[in-house]
Chain A
């Protein structure tokens, strides 16, 4: 199969969905000039009615997208760095997820919000977060977190076709990663985990860029500890069964989450596994997350973010 880069996979999803459905359009800052390569070529192809450069008005364009979605369109809102979503918190966390519910299910809000997530580039707190927990704390919005080009394309297409608001985090460290992506149309259902590597000793649940780190560690430990890497691909909806099935086999669970540890997805999953699969566990569940600090820039970043060393140590600590 052909291999393409992660950003190219997103770009293809846009093109195919915009061609399939003329109500789909893209809105954000400097998209026409393609400040990130996933919007390259779209303005020339679809014109300025469907690739909209907005002023730096996050609250206004996110709110507008909610209304546009309610009234017949399917906006994809690109927030550039996902950290900027805080400037439109009301629109993204209160309006998009809750409007349908608060109006008795009378309207749908099929909007996709997306942004560059994660650290590793020493850009400091306002350009490095992956705020999954904040999204998960707002029932009513789904969350897609692709770790490969294949998932990036399939999940974006599903996100665009979904009748609900979807937050889509793409990871800066994955932007140039290549992987197999079929040429023909495909989608990936939300809420279906993918076992990225099979193993028998320890289950590692990781998402987004952390999947790549987990796979690196799993490879390193080959022959010593057999690590199974489970990638949920969406955190809402979440495939708990896939995790329980894996833990049934390994009896050990490490959760890798690049978001801040306190009240994280990792914490939530740990609670769910204790609740539903307590008897499956032979060892305490370990979480490897960002430390409870703002993400610093420069050399300090590595002390806060998860790393292969920290993941390896956690795996070893349960693989007695």
Chain B
């Protein structure tokens, strides 16, 4: 993807993985969560995030917002001659929203350059996917709108990259939208402080042990080692660099101060 390609992040992580994947410094994200004026939204939003240079024009708290918003990004991409594409991410639960269908329809009708990416972690809060979606694959929704729908192993970083690459190329070539469903897992509770439950049952320690065996980061590390792309040492260096970056982001967030109340008027209407 290019810097100016649009991304609508999925709600999990409030867009952090999506921001990082486009090279955005996470310190603005963290400062925003800490309510500091140095945050990406000036500290008024808690969890919304924005980085227009990198194609992020916002995140919503009401799920399903991303579908129509992405249609708009797609229209801009199609009209402005800049060859941009849109990658629009959402959870399995979010796929329930009616806005998905309206947006899939418009995007398909107008052949908009959108890659719809469903991050299916099998859970919508406490509701397992089998109880909120009637068929095995959410990707099958694509066929009703005449777009390709592909299922990939979401724990396999390379497989996801390949599928997205293909769909991005198709979108950029003007051939219209596609849908990719990445099968993955939720490793933690829905939200910190809540029980981690599937329907009526709390998940157990053993469940986590099983889940962690398929951690995509670990699997990818093993693959890189095995194929000789990176050595153990190089891997450790990367881990250290990450720790330094996280520390720096924390320090940046700590150093910021809360916004001045005068921003309320500045932010309400454009001059």
Contact = CB atoms under 8 A, between A and B. Distances in A.
A53 B123 CA distance: 13
B3 interface: no
Task: Report which residue of A29, A32, A57, A297 has the largest number of chain B beta carbons within 10 angstroms of its beta carbon.
Answer: A297
Contact of B61 (A43, A55, A124): A124
Given A29-B127, A56-B94, A59-B98, A296 B200 contact: no
Interface in A107-146: 122-127
B60 interface: yes
Main secondary structure of the interface of B (DSSP, over half): loop
Interface size band for A: 35 or more
B124 interface: yes
B103 interface: no
Contact of B97 (A43, A56, A83, A304): A56
Interface stretch (B39-47, B139-147, B164-172): B39-47
B268 interface: yes
Given A55-B96, A298-B45, A32 B126 contact: yes
B259 interface: yes
B46 to A, nearest CB: 3
Main secondary structure of the interface of A (DSSP, over half): mixed
B44 A300 contact: yes
Interface string B177-210: 0000000000000100011011110000000000
Contacts, number: 110
Interface size band for B: 35 or more
Contacts of A35: 125-126, 190, 194
B27 interface: no
9 contacts: A33-B195, A44-B200, A56-B94, A298-B43, A299-B258, A299-B259, A300-B35, A303-B261, A304-B264
Interface of B: 34-36, 43-48, 60-64, 93-94, 96-98, 124-127, 131-133, 190, 194-195, 197-200, 258-259, 261, 263-264, 268
Interface of A: 29-30, 32-35, 43-44, 53-57, 59-60, 83-84, 86-87, 122-127, 291, 293-294, 296-300, 303-304
